[in-house]
């Protein structure tokens, strides 16, 4: 019998089952049965029902450095309380076997102070956002941790993902869990995991956890308590207002003023008007609080997106990288005419910005927002604001982020460390600096996907401090008689015009992963042709394949291309979803020239991907 049929029957036969999942399974079974009784007319229906069951049960939702992320629903290839519990059991096994048992003291030392410290009860932090079932999955995870003798501190309300990073270090936890699918559509949820340093787990940690998950039967091998029972044990506690207050204090410590004249800064911030939307997510409380503390004069919140809505009814794809995610905020901006528009995604780790230009509002790219923030931080620190510029300052950017960051850094004497795509690598840089006693040298991290971090207080991107810094730099520009759009142009005039663009390709769930693999292999084939190809009429001069590691980078499925005209593009698959991303960067003597070149490269690459996806090879 096919594996998906075996798995489907196993789930159907399980007795003690969540009623919603059971109902969904019965519906799948009924669809299959109905198609069998309709003769020839039911053949198409049967094929469709079989395909749905196969897609849900043939594979398992795989755990990696990003944890889990997938569609909600019944099945081994869906996220539900059973896949969440199984994953959590794997993490429990990893914690007890790898972190605590190996470090346990021998019996003779058990009564010493060091022995008692080493034998303490391991703990974790659990946070969750506003998505469908996020609270349910957080409670399910807490029940598994409690049943395994691991104390869970569950944040009592929806929170930014960076609050979990902060809490892991505050409580001295072994790990942290955040239930979120970040900016994905409402049909998705996910399970993100942090290590004891507050950064996302490493590739090596993910492999060790996955090895344990693979050895766990999803029903028979999981120890768990229902949430009400877990709450009554010594292995559970809520983390609430005090934690969030300390987290906001830490974020505000890096929201540097641009002047020592407090009255002037207060006046400028009081004159600033902002439209803000949390996109029905976790940013509402912390972002509004930091803007209030700054003294922002007028904050207009998008009412239909202010409070949680698990369906994201007015924003089906709540990703600040996309202009459609800002539609409601831009509508409001057209009425109230703010200085700046800010949106954060559901777990509040990404920030989108729009500004007025030529009578309307336009979205500012993630790169441009990052350039503004970095320039602001560098200026403020070099003038002695906050703790001033460290002796050996460090910034970090992913390879697909604008290289103008490097030029700004050079001006201010800041070292830039480059990483593969993924903010976890920037978190790793902070950890390495911490081990060298240089944590305070880290001043900024950026990924072009609207992701920023302005200090080492957390080890992941943070939309809360980013929103504060955006308001500060906007108030400064306004006080100096300049718009944000003009401030961006000023950066380009000083450091050169470079335009970036991201092209997303999304394929259907059943065949999409194989399709992305094929596209990547076709692009990789160019390497064996000694970079002899061309894109948009410009010869490929260099290809860097990071699959086997390069320039000290870890092994990642990513290929970087350099063109004769100075442009670059990088191709990488999502890894967890049937998606392909291509990042393009092109320069020119003017913005128009750079944008024209970038558009030509994008068009050529789109055609090549369409050809490959349609069955043709990349020639």
601 domain-assigned: yes
Q: What is the mean pLDDT of residues 529-548?
A: 80
3-class SS letters over 151-185: EEEEECCCCCHHHHHHHHHHHCCCEEEEECCCCCC
> Rounded to 10 degrees, what is the CA torsion of 290, 293, 299, 305?
30
Residue bearing the bigger pLDDT, 27 or 528: 27
533 domain-assigned: yes
Q: Domain residues for 383?
A: 261-495
Same-domain pairing of 332 and 229: no
111, pLDDT greater than 70: no
Q: Which one-letter DSSP state was computed for residue 198?
A: S
Same-domain pairing of 469 and 541: no
Per-residue pLDDT band for 46 (boundaries 50, 70, 90) equals: confident
Query: Over pLDDT 70: what percentage of the chain?
Result: 92
Structure tokens at 62: 């795989």
Residue where a domain terminates, one of 442, 466, 495: 495
Q: Which one-letter DSSP state was computed for residue 97?
A: I
Q: What is the DSSP string of 310-341?
A: TT-TT-SS--TTSGGGGHHHHHHHHHH--SEE
617, pLDDT greater than 50: no
3-class SS letters over 433-496: HHHCCCHHHEEEEEECCCEEECCCCCCCCCHHHHHHHHHHHHHHHHHCCCCHHHHHHHHHHHHC
For the chain, the helix, strand and coil percentages under 3-state DSSP, each to the nearest 5: 45, 20, 35
Same-domain pairing of 563 and 465: no
What are the tens digits of pLDDT across the range 435-467?
A: 999 999 999 999 999 999 999 999 999 999 999
242, pLDDT greater than 60: yes
Same-domain pairing of 131 and 49: no
**How far is it, in rounded angstroms, from Cα 430 to Cα 423?**
11
Residue 530 has what pLDDT? 44
Neighbours of 597 (CB within 10 A): 22
118, pLDDT greater than 70: no
Residues composing the chain: 619
Are 49 and 63 in contact by the 8 Å Cβ rule? The answer is: no
Are 163 and 244 in contact by the 8 Å Cβ rule? The answer is: yes
Q: What is the mean pLDDT of residues 565-584?
A: 86
- 118-127, 128-137, 141-150, 368-377: the lowest-pLDDT one: 118-127
Same-domain pairing of 403 and 504: no
Of the candidates 317, 368, 399, the residue with the CA atom closest to the CA atom of residue 571: 399
Same-domain pairing of 473 and 326: yes
Q: Taking the CA of residue 565 as centre, how many other CA atoms within 13 Å lie in the half-sphere pointing to its CB?
A: 22
Give the phi and the psi of residue 551 in degrees, each rounded to 5: 50, 40
Residues in contact with 147: Cβ distance below 8 Å, sequence separation at least 6, in sequence order: 223, 224, 225, 230
Same-domain pairing of 269 and 401: yes
**How far is it, in rounded angstroms, from Cα 179 to Cα 98?**
23
- 236-245, 326-335, 404-413, 537-546: the lowest-pLDDT one: 537-546
200 domain-assigned: yes
What are the tens digits of pLDDT across the range 164-214?
A: 999 999 999 999 999 999 999 999 999 999 999 999 998 889 999 999 999
- 82-91, 242-251, 588-597: the lowest-pLDDT one: 588-597
Residues in contact with 198: Cβ distance below 8 Å, sequence separation at least 6, in sequence order: 165, 166, 168, 169, 176, 427, 458, 459, 460
Residue 110 has what pLDDT? 41
SS3 130: coil
Structure tokens at 194: 């942090």
- Give residue 516's region: left, alpha or beta (phi > 0; psi -120 to 50): alpha
Query: Over pLDDT 90: what percentage of the chain?
Result: 74
Residue 39 has what pLDDT? 61
Per-residue pLDDT band for 251 (boundaries 50, 70, 90) equals: very high
What are the tens digits of pLDDT across the range 274-302?
A: 999 999 999 999 999 999 999 999 999 99
**Which residue bears the tokens 């999409």?**
512
**How far is it, in rounded angstroms, from Cα 612 to Cα 619?**
10
Indicate the burial class of 617 (C-beta count within 10 angstroms; 0-12, 13-18, 19 or more). exposed
Q: What is the mean pLDDT of residues 402-431?
A: 94
618 domain-assigned: no
Residue where a domain terminates, one of 495, 511, 537: 495
Residue where a domain terminates, one of 183, 206, 239: 239
Residue bearing the bigger pLDDT, 6 or 64: 6
**Which residue bears the tokens 């290929």?**
559
35, pLDDT greater than 80: no
Same-domain pairing of 164 and 175: yes
Same-domain pairing of 374 and 271: yes
Per-residue pLDDT band for 477 (boundaries 50, 70, 90) equals: very high
Per-residue pLDDT band for 578 (boundaries 50, 70, 90) equals: confident
Residue 108 has what pLDDT? 41
249 domain-assigned: no
394 domain-assigned: yes
Are 431 and 421 in contact by the 8 Å Cβ rule? The answer is: no
Residues in contact with 430: Cβ distance below 8 Å, sequence separation at least 6, in sequence order: 199, 439, 442, 445, 456, 459
User: Which of 357-372 are b and which e, b meaning 16 or more Cβ less than 10 Å from the residue's Cβ?
Assistant: eeeebbbbbbbbbbbb
Are 347 and 282 in contact by the 8 Å Cβ rule? The answer is: yes
- The CATH number of the domain holding residue 511 is 3.30.310.50
Per-residue pLDDT band for 116 (boundaries 50, 70, 90) equals: very low
65, pLDDT greater than 60: yes
Residue 104 has what pLDDT? 46
619 domain-assigned: no
Per-residue pLDDT band for 511 (boundaries 50, 70, 90) equals: low
Q: What is the mean pLDDT of residues 580-587?
A: 93
Residue 425 has what pLDDT? 92
What are the tens digits of pLDDT across the range 72-106?
A: 999 999 999 999 999 999 999 999 997 766 554 44
> What does the mean pLDDT of the chain come to?
90
Same-domain pairing of 365 and 440: yes
Are 46 and 35 in contact by the 8 Å Cβ rule? The answer is: yes
Give the phi and the psi of residue 295 in degrees, each rounded to 5: 90, 30
Per-residue pLDDT band for 532 (boundaries 50, 70, 90) equals: low
**Which residue bears the tokens 């160019």?**
526
Residue 507 has what pLDDT? 82
Are 338 and 349 in contact by the 8 Å Cβ rule? The answer is: no
Mean pLDDT is highest, among 157-161, 540-544, 566-570, for 157-161
Per-residue pLDDT band for 38 (boundaries 50, 70, 90) equals: low
**How far is it, in rounded angstroms, from Cα 472 to Cα 259?**
11
Domain count, the chain: 4
- The CATH number of the domain holding residue 175 is 3.40.120.10
Give the phi and the psi of residue 70 in degrees, each rounded to 5: -175, 180
522, pLDDT greater than 80: yes
Residue 612 has what pLDDT? 86
Same-domain pairing of 439 and 510: no
Residue 113 has what pLDDT? 44
Please give the order of strands across the beta sheet that includes 415-419.
415-419, 394-398, 442-447, 451-453
Q: What is the DSSP string of 336-403?
A: H--SEEEEE-TTS--EEEEEEETTEEEEEPHHHHHHHHHHHHHHHHHTT-TT---SS-EEEEETTS-T
**Which residue bears the tokens 């490097």?**
406
21 domain-assigned: yes
Same-domain pairing of 219 and 333: no
Per-residue pLDDT band for 615 (boundaries 50, 70, 90) equals: low
109, pLDDT greater than 60: no
């Amino acid at each position: 019998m096919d594996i998906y049929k075996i798995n489907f029957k196993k789930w159907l036969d399980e007795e003690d089952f969540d009623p919603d999942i059971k109902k969904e399974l019965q519906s799948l079974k009924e669809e299959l049965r109905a198609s069998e009784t309709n003769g020839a007319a039911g053949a198409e229906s049967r094929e469709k029902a079989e395909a749905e069951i196969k897609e849900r049960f043939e594979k398992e939702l795989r755990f990696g450095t990003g944890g889990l992320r997938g569609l909600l629903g019944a099945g081994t290839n869906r996220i539900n309380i059973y896949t969440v519990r199984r994953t959590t059991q794997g993490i429990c096994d990893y914690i007890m076997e790898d972190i605590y048992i190996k470090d346990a003291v021998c019996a003779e030392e058990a009564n010493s102070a060091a022995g008692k410290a080493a034998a303490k009860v391991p703990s974790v932090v659990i946070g969750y956002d506003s998505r469908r079932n996020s609270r349910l999955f957080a409670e399910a995870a807490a029940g598994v941790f409690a049943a395994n003798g691991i104390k869970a501190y569950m944040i009592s309300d929806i929170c930014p993902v960076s609050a979990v990073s902060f809490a892991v270090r505050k409580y001295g936890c072994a790990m942290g869990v955040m239930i979120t699918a970040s900016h994905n559509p409402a049909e998705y949820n996910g399970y993100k995991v942090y290590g004891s340093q507050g950064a996302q787990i490493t590739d090596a940690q993910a492999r060790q956890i996955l090895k344990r998950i693979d050895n766990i039967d999803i029903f028979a091998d999981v120890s768990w308590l229902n949430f009400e029972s877990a709450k009554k044990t010594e292995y559970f506690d809520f983390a609430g207002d005090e934690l969030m207050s300390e987290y906001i204090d830490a974020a505000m410590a890096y929201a540097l003023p641009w002047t020592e004249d407090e009255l002037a800064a207060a006046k400028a911030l009081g004159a600033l008007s902002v439209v803000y939307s949390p996109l029905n997510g976790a940013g509402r409380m912390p972002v509004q609080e930091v803007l209030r503390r700054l003294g922002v004069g007028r904050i207009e919140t998008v009412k239909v997106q202010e409070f949680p809505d698990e369906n994201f009814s007015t924003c089906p794809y709540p990703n600040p990288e996309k202009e459609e995610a800002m539609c409601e905020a831009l509508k409001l901006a057209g009425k109230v005419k703010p200085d700046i528009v800010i949106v954060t995604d559901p777990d509040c780790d990404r920030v989108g910005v729009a500004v007025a230009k030529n009578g309307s509002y336009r979205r500012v790219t993630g790169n441009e927002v990052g350039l503004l923030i970095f320039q602001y931080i560098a200026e403020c620190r070099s003038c002695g604001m906050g703790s001033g510029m460290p002796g050996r300052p460090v910034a970090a950017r992913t390879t697909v982020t604008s290289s103008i960051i490097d030029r700004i850094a050079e001006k201010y004497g800041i070292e830039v460390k480059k990483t593969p795509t993924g903010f976890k690598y920037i978190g790793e840089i902070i950890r390495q600096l911490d081990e060298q006693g240089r944590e305070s040298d880290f001043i900024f991290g950026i990924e072009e996907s609207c992701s920023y971090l302005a200090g080492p207080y957390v080890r992941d991107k943070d939309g809360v401090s980013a929103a504060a810094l955006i308001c500060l730099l906007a108030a400064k520009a306004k006080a100096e008689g300049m718009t944000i759009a003009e401030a961006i142009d000023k950066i380009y005039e000083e450091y050169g015009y470079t335009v970036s663009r991201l092209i997303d390709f999304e394929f259907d769930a059943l065949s999409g992963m194989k399709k992305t693999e094929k596209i990547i292999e076709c692009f990789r084939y160019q390497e064996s042709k000694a970079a002899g190809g061309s894109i948009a009429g410009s010869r490929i001069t260099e290809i860097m394949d990071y699959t086997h590691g390069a320039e000290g980078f870890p092994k990642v499925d990513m290929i970087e291309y350099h063109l004769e005209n100075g442009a670059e593009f990088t191709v990488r698959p999502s890894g967890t979803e049937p998606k392909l991303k291509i990042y393009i960067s092109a320069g020119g003597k003017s913005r128009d020239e750079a944008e024209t070149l970038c558009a030509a490269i994008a068009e050529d690459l789109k055609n090549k991907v369409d050809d490959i996806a349609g069955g043709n090879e990349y020639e």
